[in-house]
């Protein structure tokens, strides 16, 4: 692994990924790394557009912050929309079909929010949990959605892009709903990201809850949070009604660094997170909003985590915050895994910034 790493092209410090040879500290300094970042996303996104398309036409997807306007024959950044003779066609992620696969995950699961959710802790019992001390013997249906509104160079689930390029497997909301059996108490959407397929996911969730009747079936989301506010309102409503959790991945606080690592701006993610936190701040019946940050060696350090945690604490210091260990993958597979010392330093930084509930996640991946 280490033989392929590069030194920062700006300051010469440490070891960074060859695909983005500028460290996090330098990337935070204005536009210094833009050229390298643009080249990285051209490689990473291929054959999909390297950035959200901005053709001079009236088309505007509007489902997420990217607001793609593809040219004739061109796809959106996520790959799920296409300009067909001047009409924006949704190939997947609509009310009728989506790109998805799923599996049943025994509770307690390895979900990022498991340490605070009703399934594993019983919080919210008896309204939102079937047992006061954890739901052993029950399961979560984990639905992996193809396509994403981000292009994270450190992505841990790159299968989503292959699904979007090949446009399969295509399934219906009913297919998902029928996979929720009597032992399933949680329906979780992740990916990829729910954002490009939020219409599909909401239809699947509504159908599953309708079929479940009065029994507990929580609806949960793991997301980058870049969806349109109208969709977020619907997500918030169904999550609150069911007692589920929404986990926002807050990748960075600095938008220059965010753009370099993901290919897009994180401003709407942060705006949505703050809006959702204020909406649910007074709800004490169950934990409905959590946050996480992947600790990317050479890029996301204690300085960045302190900024993220401070921004979260300004809204609500009780929001649970998970620091996720990074495993070398995708274009950044030449990096090392997150060092244990970095994880401990970041945890201390988050607590010092004012957060009260901070937990390292994926600790088995720490080096």
CATH number of the domain located at residue range(s) 98-365 in this protein: 3.20.20.70
Report the C-alpha gap between 174 and 185 in whole angstroms.
17
pLDDT of residue 235: 96
194-229 in b/e form (b: 16+ CB < 10 A) is bbbbbbbbbbbbebbbeebeeebbbbbbbbbbbbbe
Report the C-alpha gap between 111 and 200 in whole angstroms.
22
β-partners of residue 171 are 98
pLDDT tens for the chain, 367 residues long, are 344 678 999 999 988 999 999 999 999 987 888 999 999 999 999 999 999 999 998 899 999 999 999 999 999 999 999 999 999 999 999 999 999 999 999 999 988 999 999 999 999 999 999 999 999 999 999 999 999 999 999 998 899 999 999 999 999 999 999 999 999 999 999 999 999 999 999 999 999 999 999 999 999 999 999 999 999 999 999 999 999 999 999 999 999 999 999 999 999 999 999 999 998 876 655 678 999 999 999 999 999 999 999 999 999 999 999 999 999 887 899 999 999 999 999 999 999 999 999 999 888 888 8
Model confidence over 289-302: pLDDT tens digits?
999 999 999 999 99
Q: Is the pTM of this model over 0.75?
A: yes
Model confidence over 94-147: pLDDT tens digits?
999 999 999 999 999 988 999 999 999 999 999 999 999 999 999 999 999 999
Model confidence over 297-328: pLDDT tens digits?
999 999 999 999 999 999 999 999 999 999 98
Cα pseudo-dihedral 32, 34, 36, 38, rounded to 10: 180
Tell me how many degrees the CA angle 204-210-212 measures, rounded to the nearest 5: 100
SS3 38: helix
């Amino acid at each position: 692994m280490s033989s392929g790493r590069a030194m920062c092209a700006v300051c010469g410090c440490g070891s960074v990924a060859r695909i983005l040879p500028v460290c996090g500290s330098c990337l935070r300094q204005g536009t210094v790394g833009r050229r390298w970042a643009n080249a990285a996303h051209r490689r990473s996104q291929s054959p999909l557009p390297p950035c959200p398309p901005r053709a001079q036409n009236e088309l505007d997807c509007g489902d997420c912050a990217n607001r793609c306007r593809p040219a004739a024959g061109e796809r959106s950044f996520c790959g799920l929309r296409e300009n067909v003779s001047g009409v924006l066609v949704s190939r997947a992620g609509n009310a009728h079909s989506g790109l998805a696969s799923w599996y049943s995950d025994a509770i307690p699961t390895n979900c990022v929010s498991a340490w605070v959710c009703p399934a594993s802790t019983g919080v919210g019992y008896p309204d939102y949990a079937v047992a006061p001390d954890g739901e052993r013997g029950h399961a979560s249906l984990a639905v992996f959605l193809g396509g994403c509104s981000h292009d994270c160079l450190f992505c841990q689930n790159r299968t989503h892009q292959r699904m979007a390029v090949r446009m399969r497997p295509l399934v219906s909301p009913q297919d998902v709903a029928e996979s929720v059996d009597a032992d399933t108490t949680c329906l979780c959407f992740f990916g990829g990201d729910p954002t490009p397929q939020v219409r599909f996911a909401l239809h699947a969730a509504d159908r599953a809850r309708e079929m479940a009747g009065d029994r507990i079936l929580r609806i949960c989301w793991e997301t980058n949070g870049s969806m349109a506010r109208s969709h977020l309102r619907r997500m918030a409503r169904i999550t609150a009604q069911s007692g589920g959790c929404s986990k926002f991945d807050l990748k960075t606080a600095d938008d220059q660094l965010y753009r370099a690592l993901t290919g897009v701006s994180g401003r709407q993610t942060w705006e949505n997170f703050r809006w959702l936190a204020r909406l649910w701040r007074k709800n004490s019946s169950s934990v409905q909003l959590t946050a996480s940050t992947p600790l990317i060696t050479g890029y996301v350090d204690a300085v960045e985590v302190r900024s993220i945690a401070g921004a979260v604490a300004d809204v609500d210091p009780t929001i649970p915050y998970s620091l996720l260990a990074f495993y070398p993958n995708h274009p950044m597979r030449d990096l090392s895994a997150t060092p244990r010392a970095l994880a401990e330093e970041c945890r201390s930084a988050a607590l010092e910034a004012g957060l009260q509930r901070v937990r390292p996640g994926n600790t088995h991946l720490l080096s």
